[in-house]
A and B are shown apart, each in its own frame.
Chain A
Amino acid sequence: MSDNKISPHSLNDLKNTTDDCLANYLRSLSFVQDNSKLDVRLAVGYVAVIIATITFVADYKLGWEATKLGTAFAVVAYAILNGVYTYWMWMVEKGLVFEGTKGSKRVSIASKTKKHDPTYYLTVTTSSSTNPLEIQCPFTTWFTSDGYFVAQPFQQWLATSVGVIGEADQKNAAKNEKEDLFVSEAELNGTPSASGADSGKGKGTKRGKKKS
């Protein structure tokens, strides 16, 4: 999906890149992303920054004595807004990566990682099921050892693990992961296969297990 190389040793980079690709993938399946939570976060944050800017300008133009009381209110307001911002990020967004609808189906996905554990954990809440679905997969499934992201194994994992995504992406849902492990006759004999680069990379991530 991306041509950018990231450090495969940075858990943060791995998670952020995967989060971005997850959102891109779902949008490509015609899920309409709901940005309302993010918009609230942006609004709170920017109001706080604007208050700080007004305080700065007022102090610059009118001096300390005249603006003392106003500054006091501004500092309190800034502290409250930042508190709200932190609360929002911690309680409401809570690792939310994607939230959207496709037709009548609604999906909400939050991701997390654990320290020193190269695994991608997802919590998926859909409109069709009552309990949130918790799935996980090692990052090595879709990252090469030198840090390139490969879309296909990632999309396959999502499509086969999450019902709503599988319904939207029949092609990836139908594929069996193990199929990638088998080399076709044509590739064994040296002629490149029809799918070309993608499956070639796919084999790269599975460390090129070949069966004769």
Chain B
Amino acid sequence: MGSSCPEVSQPRPRTACRTGPRRPCRISGGIAAAGRPGARGETPGPSGGSVAVSPESPMDSRMDPAVSAVRLTVREAVHTLSSSEDGDRILSTLGSLKRYLGGAENPALPGEQEEFARMHFSALLRCLVGRLSPAWLELLPGGQLEAPWASFFLEGPADQAFLVLMESIEGMAGPSFRLMKMVQLLAQFLGAGRVAAVMESQCWQLAEPAFPLLQETLLAKLVGLPDHLGNRLQRENLAAFLPQNYFPLLGEELLRVLQAVVDSLRDGWDCSISFLSQVLGKACVHGRQKEILGVLVPQLMALTQGNCLWQRVCWRLVECVPDRAMEALLTGLVEAASGPEVLSRLLGNLVMKSKKARFVMTRKILFLQYRYSTPMLQSLLGYLAMDSQRRPLLVQALKELLETWGSSSAIRHAPLPQQRYVSKAVLICLANLREAELRDSRDELLASLMAGVKSRLDSSLPAVRRLGMIVAEVASARIHPEGPPLRFQYEDDELSRELLALVAAQPVADSPSEASPAVAPVAAEAPDRGSTEGGGVPAQAEGAGSDLDSDDDLVPYDMSGDQELKSSKAPAYLRDCVEALTSSEDWERWEAALQAVEGLIVRSPAATREVSVELAKVLLHLEEKTSVVGFEVLRQRALVAVVVTDPAPVAEYLTSQFYAINFSLRQRMDILDVLTLAAQELSRPGRLPKAAQVGSPSPASPSSSTEAPAWRVVVEERIRNKTRRFSQHFDRPLVTFDLLGEDQLVLGRLAHTLGAMMYLAVNTTVAVPMGKALLEFVWTLRFHGDAYVRQGLLSAVSAVLLSVPTARLLTDLPDELLEAGPWLADVAEQDSDEDCRVLAVKALLLLEKLKDTLLPLTPP
């Protein structure tokens, strides 16, 4: 805070000019008061106005006769107190000293009181602490000494008393009677509300020289009290000193001081609240926002409601917080405030005044952190939107947010929760901005939005794509309302509903009342529709016990499934089916053929083998010509059935086609899906007997022992294909389509597919060479930029570890595994994608397990 800080001034007419040096963070009451009246007797000590407390050096005070009189009296008293064993004498000495604290029936002169408080009070207190012992207190019976003794701490100048208390508690070694007495006294001190007095005393010291050090110490002791006491007392700590009890108390005391400040401002007195700001800031830095703000914010919320003075005090309180505490305080405030209005009332235009605050509010919370809840974001951005001065900041924030949202590097490297957070912030900004404001920077916004949509839709992670779609729809509608609306097809889910709710404006409020009458007639009609045409409602109502009634108990079942039958057109032979699918212009026949093809394949494996490759080709190139229900599924299942029936040639055909040029993304993905599903089906022995039964209807005791080799042969044959494919993969320069560039989605799916194949190849002989090839494949791609690809690679590694026999792993693949370890550890620690990290950890665990089982074997 520089001296540029504007002062908050009392709205009263200024009748006098202020004297004395201007200090930052001073609130001026408008009247330069000389000598505060004793009405504020609660705050003794150096409480004078700026004129009364003119700089005085110790030299000057020695010259003053009144001053030296005080000194003599105190010196004598201290001597008596420290040496006398006479209880009555001590008591009377204490009584005589009590005069200087004021409030007694025979108080000392104000000048003397002041002198006593400034020069001698601490020394006296230290002396009192020094004398404290069980024997000393016993000098007079009935604890007569204890009350006057304690009253010096509780009634004297609070700041000095507090310091001496803390100092003596810290200085004492080990648990002792004196320590416990002092601790109890401190608890009494806190309970008596003296903390407020400590802080308040700092508010009036406008012109005191050389007090920063004192303030610094006070600040440290005030905020660090729970720590100090905790360290000192260990297990004997009192409940009052626990942070969860102390900081709420501190908050309440702060409020009391603020109340006093407001009162004195109203009376026209200057005061400074920088000390309060420091206390608040330091408590927040100590991580006690919840405790202290939990008390402060609700009260301030109520007090600032419609009260300008309170508002200004509150603003000032926040403004004067040191920069290093600003972030802790602001995040705490945003969290504790219940909405943008409250935040605006508490902070004022803080973001315009404090650079640090602006940085925290518009950059740190939005871009550098993402742990805050949606309501927090809403109150923060709502706060920016509530004042015309602050609105440019909001526009700026939106621009930057959109830029981040759309940056392809951020999309790739930022964790998903953060992307979600930024998306939410974008939508909240949009909801808060007016159309005119958006229009002014439309081009810029649209440019970053479009770039972002493009890079998001390119991503292979569904969640990222989905965020892109939702935000793009909403943002384009807001930024460019005249344009054609952007519509994506995404399924409604919790996230999309939450995001859309953020932009849903208030005008929806009256819609339910409109909706309810519209619903009512429908509900009323429904039963009518259900009744029979013959019986009719009146007949039912009359309850005529005629023949008519008895017939009406026959209520129809649901007959919606009664549709026209198309099976008459379905081909009965596979060749007809192929022909119908390729050349038929009769769409009903085409549909029927599509629906029948899987059944035909399963039913006649021999016929399928004759045409298998041709059939696979037809199915792969099949386009959805009519809107058949479940076209994709039908086609996929048919393809899987073909592969399962005749694995070797069909799989070879499909794998060769995977690298061909003239295929769409969809077809390539289909190839991979079909291969995975077919491998799964082939590797499951339970499936095959069923198929065999269809082929040969004689159920001649299907013993599993005879079946098992059959499927295993098929799988091995299949897997051999796959291994051949790997070698192909590395022989090819991969230029046929851009697998390593644009088509990262296919690459990712390929990696997943290979992993699945590997997993399904467990217990086969080809598992070892296959695992070797797969690890090589993984190794070349391990630093791929796309998270989906990396996920595939990591699952492939796990599949290798699971499928290849442990003994073979170490004999055949030792180098690969050795290399994989550090890489996996690195991914598990540093990858930006959470799924990648989890997968890497799983692979690491497998690797560790492997090492555990093999290490005992290796030494001999």
State whether these chains interact. Answer: no
